[in-house]
Amino acid sequence: MGAGIGILFAPDKGTRTREKIKDSFDDAKNDFKHKFENVSDELKHKFSIAKNDLEETFEDIVSNMSNKTEDIITLLEAKLADLKLQNAKLQKETSSTSKQNS
């Protein structure tokens, strides 16, 4: 901005002054464009890393839940087997008691 003001007050022809102003604006535009592209690339990179981290975390959670589910199923199967065994014993006792009472 200071360069633009300096150009306006410099003793030069109007066409040359307008050319300097245009060049100064073009330089500023190109500088802004490069900075924007750099920030954009940096954000894309950070979002990519965050996405990968999120995917890994999700996969870890799913894997952990799968392992927990298997543990629960194994526990429930053991409990079911135990209940079947207790039921068989109870049936046997009930059957023996009813035969003795008859």
pLDDT tens digits along 15-52: 887 888 899 999 999 999 999 999 999 999 999 999 99
**Residues ≥6 apart with Cβ < 8 Å to 18:** none
At 95 the pLDDT is 81
37: Cα separation from own chain's centroid? 24
Cβ–Cβ < 8 Å for 7, 17: yes
Query: Can you tell me the distance from the alpha carbon of 76 to that of 69, in angstroms, rounded to the nearest whole number?
Result: 10
Cβ–Cβ < 8 Å for 7, 20: yes
76/100: higher pLDDT: 76
Query: Can you tell me the distance from the alpha carbon of 90 to that of 57, in angstroms, rounded to the nearest whole number?
Result: 49
Average the pLDDT over 70-86 and give the result: 96
99/56: higher pLDDT: 56
